[in-house]
């Protein structure tokens, strides 16, 4: 019995140290990554290529996500709002929910499932086939060559994809408002504008809600790229290891996105909500 307890304690201790070491390595990679982002050389062609992979190639799934999210949100909200005769405010609900929360979070999760998994798999495959070691042998920093372009492309393209998702979601809500609820396009769009204008403006024409909605995808893009590349660089165990690293990257990134979203929301509320 005593031997079993000691064995269990040893396993727990080893697991704890393993997690602590992984966290340390993760933040060491992030620090090295941030330093590489502001120093030469810059691989501009790789950045543009990754912008295409992360942004353009994710456009279709982001559009579908935004469209059906807006339609479902309007449809479900109408069921409750019809009881109080408040269906004219559907635009307010869709606009506020999409721009502040659903657009950034759903876009980040969908892009993580597509582009984030691809990052982890691509770098993991290079790691197990010793291509990463070959880069080091040639004097090329793998972080600068493989991670930095993906990181910069992600923080550039996630806000762009979020704007697309927001617009498409608002359009999806408009379809339901016009077809199902017999509202006019003018009434719906005025309601969307009013809820965005209610929070105030920066520079007299940029809604504060939009600023809050675009601050989140910047953080989510950085998290997605850093986490996916981290697991890719740690891949071992051949092709099975690549699959394992890809799964870990997607799951961890999704959890971090949801957790960071909560804390960012708290910070933005303190900063902008009077």
Confidence of residue 203 (pLDDT cuts 50, 70, 90): low
For residue 29, tell me if it sits in a domain. no
For 131, the token pair is 């291509």
- Round to whole Å and give the CA distance between 151 and 50: 9
- Average pLDDT for residues 157-186, to the nearest whole number? 91
The dihedrals phi and psi of 62, each to the nearest 5 degrees, come to -70, -40
The token pair at 144 is 């600068």
Q: Which domain holds residue 205?
A: 50-272
Q: Which two tokens stand for residue 60?
A: 């279709």
Q: What are phi and psi of 239, to 5 degrees?
A: -65, -35
Residue 21 lies in a domain: no
Please say if the pLDDT value at position 181 is more than 70: yes
108 inside domain: yes
pLDDT beyond 60 at 274? no
Structure token pair of residue 63: 């559009």
DSSP H/E element including 202: strand 201-202
Confidence at residue 116, expressed as pLDDT on a 0 to 100 scale: 92
pLDDT over 70, % of the chain:
91
The pLDDT-based confidence of 210 (bands split at 50, 70, 90) is confident
Q: How confident is the model at residue 61 (pLDDT cuts 50, 70, 90)?
A: very high
What pLDDT is recorded for position 263? 93
> 206 has which bridge partners?
202
22: in domain: no
Position 134 in a domain: yes
* Predicted pLDDT at 48: 93
**Span of 47-61, 206-220, 252-266 with lowest mean pLDDT:** 206-220
The reply to whether 25 falls in a domain is no
> What DSSP element (H or E) covers 271?
helix 238-272
**pLDDT attached to residue 216:** 93
**Mean pLDDT, the chain, integer:** 87
Q: What is the pTM assigned to this prediction?
A: 0.88
Report the number of distinct structural domains present in the chain: 1
Compute the distance between CA of residue 221 and CA of residue 107 in angstroms, rounded to an integer.
10
Res 43 pLDDT > 70: yes
Residue 31 lies inside a defined structural domain of this protein: no
65-74 mean pLDDT? 93
Q: Is residue 8 part of a domain?
A: no
Tokens of 1: 């019995």
């Amino acid at each position: 019995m005593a031997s079993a307890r000691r064995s269990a304690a040893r396993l727990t201790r080893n697991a704890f140290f393993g997690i602590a070491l992984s966290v340390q390595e993760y933040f060491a990679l992030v620090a090295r990554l941030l330093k590489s982002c502001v120093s030469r050389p810059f691989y501009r062609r790789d950045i543009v290529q990754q912008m295409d992979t992360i942004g353009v190639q994710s456009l279709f799934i982001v559009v579908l996500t935004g469209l059906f999210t807006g339609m479902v949100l309007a449809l479900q909200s109408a069921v409750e709002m019809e009881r109080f005769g408040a269906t004219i405010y559907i635009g307010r609900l869709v606009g506020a929910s999409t721009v502040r929360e659903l657009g950034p979070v759903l876009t980040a999760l969908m892009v993580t499932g597509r582009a984030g998994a691809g990052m982890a798999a691509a770098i993991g495959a290079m790691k197990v086939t010793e291509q990463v070691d070959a880069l080091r042998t040639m004097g090329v920093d793998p972080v600068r060559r493989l991670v930095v372009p993906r990181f910069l492309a992600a923080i550039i393209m996630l806000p762009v994809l979020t704007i697309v998702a927001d617009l498409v979601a608002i359009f999806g809500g408009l379809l339901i408002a016009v077809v199902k609820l017999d509202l006019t396009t003018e009434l719906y769009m005025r309601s969307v504008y009013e809820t965005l204008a209610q929070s105030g403006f920066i520079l007299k024409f940029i809604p504060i809600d939009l600023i809050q909605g675009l601050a989140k995808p910047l953080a989510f893009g950085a998290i997605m790229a850093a986490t996916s590349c981290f697991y890719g660089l740690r891949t071992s165990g051949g092709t099975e290891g690549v699959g394992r690293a890809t799964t870990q990257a997607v799951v961890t990134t999704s959890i971090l996105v949801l957790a960071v979203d909560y804390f960012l929301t708290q910070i933005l509320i303190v900063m902008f909500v009077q």
